[in-house]
Amino acid sequence: MRALLRYTARKLSLHEFQAAALLGKNGLPVVRGEAVQTPGDAIKVAEKLKTDIVLKAQVHAGGRGRGVFKNSKLQSGVHIVKSPKEVGTLASKMIGDILITKQTGAEGKPVSYLYVTEKVSIKRELYIAITTDREKAAVKIIASSRGGMGIEELDPKYVLQHCLKGTQVGESDLEAISQFMEPENAAQKEQFKDIVSKLTKTFVSSDATLIEINPLGVLEDGRVAICDSKVTIDDNALFRQKELAALEDITQKDATEVNAQKDDLNYIKLSGDIGCLVNGAGLAMATMDLINFKGGKPANFLDIGGGATPERVRKAIEIINSDTNVKSILVNIFGGIVRCDVVAQGVISAVEALRIQKPIVMRIKGTNSEEAKEMVKSSKLKIFWDENPDSAVGLCVQQAVSSI
């Protein structure tokens, strides 16, 4: 259930350059930079900045510094560069390629934007993030004086997890957090406080689910600057965050999920081999538990919701079937508002049109289920009918195993 909840928490991810623009607008000290889509423009920005340059591949994944490009084999999605000429050479090895990092999976993410920023001289790398703590139902600030690329492996004793009482940060919160970040003097401590305070305001006002700064750099000249930022926005708030919603880059998302969203179907990709068509999140979770209990693993979940028409069911089966990991398909529908015969009609027409060979187990119960059963029986397709959820799921797991 936890796992599914995690997958269903939908969010909009911003690119780093978009996150930096949002933070800059809210008065935070971000390093100067511009996003480009061609090596020529990368050179122009570098010439304009007149400093050493950091070239950064824009993908919706962390760990870019330790990533590798799929085609050019260039190591690292983040490069510190001295001359505009070198900017051009490197940019052409990054734009249009695919970056693979620890967080992207083996297929990687396409790079269509580079962020060209000034290189600042970092003396210390800190970490600061704002998110929500679901269990405590609170805004949580996470801070460390040891930020940078190895943050995941850091000893928890160097990481502060500080929950706020409400949605505003008070003086005692600021005191505790800034102190933990090991300020070198009073002025620096004030800078930390100002940053934490503005980040919290931005987190709330932009309906973010995460703002993560890593590194927050303490610079040689005493300034404190945001050198890398990651922002995600709560999907449920996009109706009132229109400017942010417009920034979505769908090339960074799973293609099947994007396809399903177009048809207003709620599709969630998982890592197993049983495709699942269900209606309602509660039934989805119960189905997932039952599949696990029977020794199987779901490949995905497609929640068709309350508005099932034969066309939508057909589209849903098509999407589930397009996942090459799927070995058997479970249709677990409770027909209340949804009519069982409508679901059966959609499934049958999908199987016929797409010549689906994978075994399908249908467990549908409710309005017009007798008619549905008759339709499935007389179709003579490889569709198993079983109204008992326990044995239906057992059969589907068995079918997935025996088809290997």
Q: What are phi and psi of 302, to 5 degrees?
A: -120, 115
Residue 173 or 228 having the CB closest to Mn ion: 228
Distance, in Å, from the CA atom of 216 to the CA atom of 223, rounded to the nearest integer, reads 11
Give the SS3 label for residue 111.
Answer: coil
14, amino acid identity: L
Least distance to ligand GDP, CB of residue 331, Å: 41
Strand arrangement, sheet containing 300-303 = 266-269, 300-303, 274-278, 328-335, 360-366, 383-385
| Candidates 224-232, 246-254, 323-331, 390-398; binding stretch for Mn ion (CB under 5 A) | 224-232
115 is catalytic: no
Least distance to ligand GDP, CB of residue 29, Å: 13
158, amino acid identity: Y
Instruction: Give the pairing of strands 122-133 and 208-219.
Output: antiparallel
Query: Of 14, 20, 54, 114, which one interacts with ligand GDP (CB under 6 A)?
Result: 54
Distance, in Å, from the CA atom of 272 to the CA atom of 293, rounded to the nearest integer, reads 14
Catalytic pick from 16, 115, 125, 212?
212
Strand arrangement, sheet containing 78-81 = 33-36, 114-118, 53-57, 78-81
Task: Tell me whether residue 397 is exposed, middle or buried, using C-beta atoms within 10 angstroms of its C-beta: 0 to 12, 13 to 18, 19 or more.
Answer: buried
Report the candidate in 120, 103, 36 with the shortest Cα–Cα distance to residue 65: 103
Residue 78 interacts with ligand GDP (CB under 6 A)?
yes
Residue 13 or 214 having the CB closest to Mn ion: 214
Buried b (16+ CB within 10 A) or exposed e, 80-90: ebeebeebbeb
Least distance to Mn ion, CB of residue 214, Å: 4
Q: How many binding residues for ligand GDP (CB under 6 A)?
A: 18
Give the SS3 label for residue 150.
Answer: coil
| Residues 227-256: x where in contact with ligand GDP by CB under 6 A, - otherwise, as a string | xx----------------------------
Residue 149 interacts with ligand GDP (CB under 6 A)?
yes
Least distance to ligand GDP, CB of residue 31, Å: 6
116, amino acid identity: V
| Candidates 60-68, 269-277, 298-306, 339-347; binding stretch for ligand GDP (CB under 6 A) | 60-68
Buried b (16+ CB within 10 A) or exposed e, 117-130: bbbbebebbbbbbb
Catalytic pick from 86, 127, 135, 243?
127
Closest residue to Mn ion, based on beta-carbon distance: 228
Picked from Mn ion, ligand GDP, none, the partner binding residue 249 (CB below 5 to 8 A depending on kind) is none
Q: How many binding residues for Mn ion (CB under 5 A)?
A: 2
Contact 364, 372 (CB under 8 A): yes
Picked from ligand GDP, Mn ion, none, the partner binding residue 97 (CB below 5 to 8 A depending on kind) is none
Residue 214 interacts with Mn ion (CB under 5 A)?
yes
| Residues 165-204: x where in contact with Mn ion by CB under 5 A, - otherwise, as a string | ----------------------------------------
For ligand GDP, the binding residues in 90-129 under the rule CB under 6 A are 119-120, 122, 125
Give the SS3 label for residue 182.
Answer: coil
Least distance to ligand GDP, CB of residue 78, Å: 4
267 is catalytic: no
Picked from ligand GDP, Mn ion, none, the partner binding residue 54 (CB below 5 to 8 A depending on kind) is ligand GDP
For ligand GDP, the binding residues in 325-384 under the rule CB under 6 A are none
Report the candidate in 245, 127, 243 with the shortest Cα–Cα distance to residue 182: 127
Residue 208 or 313 having the CB closest to ligand GDP: 208
Query: Of 228, 249, 273, 303, which one interacts with Mn ion (CB under 5 A)?
Result: 228
Picked from Mn ion, ligand GDP, none, the partner binding residue 119 (CB below 5 to 8 A depending on kind) is ligand GDP
Buried b (16+ CB within 10 A) or exposed e, 248-275: bbeebeeebbeebeeeebbbbbbebbbb
Distance, in Å, from the CA atom of 392 to the CA atom of 385, rounded to the nearest integer, reads 8
Residue 56 interacts with ligand GDP (CB under 6 A)?
yes
Least distance to ligand GDP, CB of residue 88, Å: 19
Residue 148 interacts with ligand GDP (CB under 6 A)?
yes
Tell me which residues are annotated as active site.
Answer: 127, 212
Q: Give residues in contact with ligand GDP (CB under 6 A).
A: 31, 54, 56, 62-65, 78, 119-120, 122, 125, 148-149, 214-215, 227-228
**Residues found near Mn ion in the complex (CB under 5 A):** 214, 228
